[in-house]
Amino acid sequence: MDLLLIMFQKEQKHDPVLTSYLAGLFLKARQWSGQTESLFLSALEERSELSDEIVRFVLPIYLSHQRTDGRALKFYVQALEFSLPEEVQLKIILAQSFCDGNLMGVSPDLHRKCEEIFYQLPEAKQSELKTKSDETRISYKLQKVKLFRKEDLQDLKYLKIEMGLVASKVSFLWAGMAYSARVVKNIGKWMLLRALDSAFLFGKLPLKI
């Protein structure tokens, strides 16, 4: 049985008959592993006659581990074709994946499928999922900021000063001194002009002897 599973994994294009046969063997043995996971998913995608049984065996495993990776999401999409009590739960998981946008560049087709499911939900639920996704992004960014040590923040501050993004204390001091010098210079000019005006007016006065 293990040899047949190895043969299945090495095939680029799987034989539906072999896929269904192997899936049946591992279903009877109730055997779950990373190797059989791809087998069950392939059998489900190929519409095996064992699909319903595969869903009922694999789905609880995925949900118990709170799987939201690409392989699990593909399985959830396929599972929605069956009548399941977990239907609403699966739709919410897939819709949340669309809001998070993690599949957009990795698996565009799956992302579009999640988008379709998202817009099938009531508007109130759509808004709730969008808000949750936004809050998760903000929380993640804040967590990244908190991961900086005190020394890292100090280094970041010095780097900003070197790049001219912020002014240092010395630059503030020089700027203050330059401003004070300009003020003193302007006051000196004003006093000199006043003195010259006074001298000019004094020169025009008639001298009495």
Work out the pLDDT band at 61, boundaries 50, 70, 90.
Answer: very high
Q: Examine the domain organization and report whether 118 and 102 are in the same domain.
A: yes
**Which of 98, 119, 147 is the C-terminal boundary of a domain?**
147
Q: How far apart are CA 51 and CA 84, in angstroms?
A: 13
pTM for the model stands at 0.63
Position 180 scores a pLDDT of 73
Position 13 scores a pLDDT of 67
Position 135 scores a pLDDT of 85
Q: Examine the domain organization and report whether 61 and 127 are in the same domain.
A: yes
Position 158 scores a pLDDT of 62
Q: Examine the domain organization and report whether 157 and 110 are in the same domain.
A: no
Work out the pLDDT band at 207, boundaries 50, 70, 90.
Answer: very low
Q: Examine the domain organization and report whether 86 and 171 are in the same domain.
A: no
Report in angstroms the alpha-carbon separations of 167 from 11, 64, 142, 179, 190: 62, 53, 25, 16, 32
Position 139 scores a pLDDT of 66
**Which of 130, 147, 164 is the C-terminal boundary of a domain?**
147
Average pLDDT over residues 65-80: 94
Q: Examine the domain organization and report whether 110 and 195 are in the same domain.
A: no
Q: Examine the domain organization and report whether 12 and 81 are in the same domain.
A: yes
Please, are residues 60 and 90 in contact by the beta-carbon 8 Å criterion?
Answer: no
**Which of 147, 163, 186 is the C-terminal boundary of a domain?**
147
Average pLDDT over residues 65-72: 93
Q: Examine the domain organization and report whether 132 and 54 are in the same domain.
A: yes
Whether the per-residue pLDDT at 172 is higher than 60: the answer is no
Q: Examine the domain organization and report whether 102 and 157 are in the same domain.
A: no
Q: Examine the domain organization and report whether 8 and 105 are in the same domain.
A: yes
Position 209 scores a pLDDT of 44
Interval 89-145: pLDDT, tens:
999 999 999 999 988 888 999 999 999 999 999 999 999 999 998 888 776 666 665
What range does the domain containing 181 cover? 148-209
Q: Examine the domain organization and report whether 189 and 118 are in the same domain.
A: no
Q: Examine the domain organization and report whether 191 and 89 are in the same domain.
A: no
Specify the higher pLDDT residue, 62 or 151. 62
> How many structural domains is the chain composed of?
2
Which structure tokens are listed for 108? 């565009």
Q: Examine the domain organization and report whether 193 and 120 are in the same domain.
A: no
